[in-house]
Amino acid sequence: ASRQAPLLEQTQEMFDLSFGTGFYPTVHLMQACYPQLKESKGSIINFGSSSGLEGMPTQTSYAAAKEAIRGVSRVAANEWAADQIRVNVLCPFAATEGVVAWQEAFPERAAATIAKVPLQRIGDPETDIAPIALFLASDDSKYMTGQTVMADGGSLKLR
C-alpha cells in the first residue's frame, strides 16, 4: 500500500504505510518460516516492483519499500544458501486490484504505460504470473537464488 506524491511531499506517514504493509511483513514472514524452510530446503518468492528499478515519479515510499524487499532478499539468498534455501524476487506487471484501480483513476497514464509494454498488455495474474511463480518454487529453478525476475511484458530489461 502507498500514497503517491512527489518526493518533496512525501511524509513519514507515507513511508510508514509502505514499509508497514510491504517490507516489514516480508521480513517477519521470512524469519518465521526459516526453520521450516531449512528443514525442507525450500524456496522463497518475494514480490518486488519496477517502481523502484525505474524510479517512477510520485512512487517514492512504495519504490523504497519494494527495493528494500529486493535488498533483504539478496541478503537472505546469500546467508541461507548454505541451508539450501533459495530466495528470489518476482516483479510482475499484472492486473491486480491495485493496478485495475490505477487504470480507472488514471486512464491516460495507464494507456501510455501499456503502450510502452512490448507485449502491449498488462499481465494476467493467473495465466502470466502464476506459472513464473510456480517455476521459481519448483525444482526446475533449483540453481537460482538471489535473482530478480521481471514478469512485465518486456518493459524492463535487467542485466
Count Cα neighbours of 84 within 13 Å in the Cβ-side half-sphere: 8
Any idea which residue has 506517514 for its cell? 13
Among residues 39, 29, 42, 37, which one has the least CA distance to residue 72?
29
Active-site position among 24, 34, 62, 143: 62
Q: Is 62 a catalytic residue?
A: yes
CB count within 10 Å of CB 126 equals 10
Task: Report d(CA 130, CA 111) in Å as an integer.
Answer: 24
- Residues labelled catalytic: 62
